[in-house]
Amino acid sequence: MIIARSPLRISLGGGGTDLPSYYRHHEGFLIAASIDRYVYITLQKTFEQQLIVKYSQVERVPNAKSLRHPIVREALTLLGMENEHLEITSIADIPTGSGLGSSGSFTVALLKALHTLNDNLVSRNDLAEQACHIEIDRLNEPIGKQDQYIAAYGGITCFRFTKDDRVVIEPLRISTETMCRLQTNFLLFHTGISRKANSILKEQNDKTLETNQDMVDNLHYVKEMGFRSKEAFESGELHEIGAIMHEHWQHKKKRSKAMSSPQIDEWYKFALENGAIGGKVIGAGGGGFLMLYSEDTDRLRAAMAGAGVREVGFRLEAEGTSTIVL
């Protein structure tokens, strides 16, 4: 049996500029960090003459062409494994629709498991690119490249997306002290609202392709905040990070009316009144997780718990996607 795991992620600056509709004209830049919440894929050959795929549903089909699960179908087809008799199971620490990049993590973990089965040595870059090819090119999802790349590489990482579709990767250069403060001062709260990112991202994607100036200017500004975040992280000015996050969230909400909700706005305002310096909804928006930066975390935790908002603890991780063979 092969077990692959890919980390989920939080975005720390520049999110939204990783969509091809933007970076192919203007280049993109963002900072992302992987966390110790994972998507797991287990894979083994089966004696049954069928392909078995277990997720929220169970599919038993003669070959990959018959699968309803689009990512599994396309991954097997891409690697020439359409007729393999396998049992593939996926589980995750966090439910889908959470805004933590679970779809990209799933795709990367699946590809890593399949390559391991075939004894293929595959680089992190190739894993990420194959995952992007499946989701963006083959399935035409209106998404970016952030999730696949941070799942493959892990760590706190800067990504630059070039006009010719290359992704330039470099680690964020922060001190151990800053890393410890970062770990302590960032909190995640689950809104209890599940949503599909595609509709919100499609609106951004369509407006960018139409050269909607408000959308393009918004993404320019968010990219600039990504560069400012990099400077603040590397200089240890984490209070500034909280302020940038607040500014980012105000701009991010302008991209779509579905980005927030009255309930999320109420929780965010309440958090600012109880020790948060800034924050934002992680991912495309509309629900999932609210990430907050605070230098008075005890006060903020108590207030949010009193408001009935559940905190989900996490640690930053640096391994990226990995496998074990049993």
Spatial distance between the Cα atoms of 234 and 35, rounded to a whole number of angstroms: 19
User: What distance in Å separates the CA atoms of residue 186 and residue 121, rounded to the nearest whole number?
Assistant: 36
Q: Count Cβ atoms below 10 Å from residue 66 Cβ, excluding itself.
A: 13
pLDDT of residue 287: 81
Q: CA-CA distance, 112 to 124, in Å (whole number)?
A: 9
For residues 242 and 227, give the distance between their C-alpha atoms in angstroms, rounded to a whole number. 14
pLDDT of residue 59: 98
Token representation of residue 187:
């909190």
Please determine whether the domains at 2-173+317-325 and 176-311 fall in the same fold group of CATH: no
- CATH number of the domain located at residue range(s) 176-311 in this protein: 3.30.70.890
Residue 111: partners with Cβ closer than 8 Å, 6 or more residues away: 75, 79, 122, 127, 130, 131, 134
Query: Quick one: how far is CA 19 from the chain centroid?
Result: 13
Sign of the torsion angle spanned by Cα atoms 161, 163, 166, 168: negative
N-terminal to C-terminal alpha carbon distance within the chain: 5
DSSP class of 225: H
Topology (CATH level 3) of domain 2-173+317-325: Ribosomal Protein S5; domain 2 (3.30.230)
pLDDT score, position 256: 79
Model pLDDT for residues 19-71, shown as the tens digit of each residue: 999 999 999 999 999 999 999 999 999 998 999 999 999 999 999 999 999 99
Task: Take residue 261 and report the two structure tokens written for it.
Answer: 């909700």
> For 221-286, where are the E strands, in sequence order?
276-281
Q: Residue 51's pLDDT is what?
A: 98
Token code pair at residue 44 = 């083994």
User: Which of 178, 180, 171, 130 lies closest to 318 in space, CA to CA?
Assistant: 171
Do 159 and 16 form a contact (C-beta atoms < 8 A)? no
Q: Is 244 exposed, middle or buried (0-12, 13-18, 19+ CB in 10 A)?
A: buried
Q: Give CA–CA dist 127/192, Å, rounded.
A: 32
Evaluate whether 162 touches 25 at the Cβ level (below 8 Å).
no
For the chain, residues with pLDDT lower than 50 are: none
Q: What is the pTM for the complete model shown?
A: 0.94
262-272 and 297-306 helices cross at what angle (nearest 10)? 140
For the record, the structure tokens of 177 come out as 């002290």
- How is the chain split into domains, by residue range? 2-173+317-325, 176-311
User: Using CA atoms, how far apart are residues 250 and 259, in angstroms rounded to an integer?
Assistant: 10
d(CA 193, CA 263): 10
* pLDDT reported for residue 204: 65
* Residues 200-233 pLDDT 10s: 666 666 777 667 888 899 999 999 999 999 999 9
The residue count of the chain comes to 326
Give the Cα separation of 141 and 256 in Å (integer): 18
Backbone angle region of 192, left / alpha / beta, with phi > 0 → left and psi within -120 to 50 → alpha: left
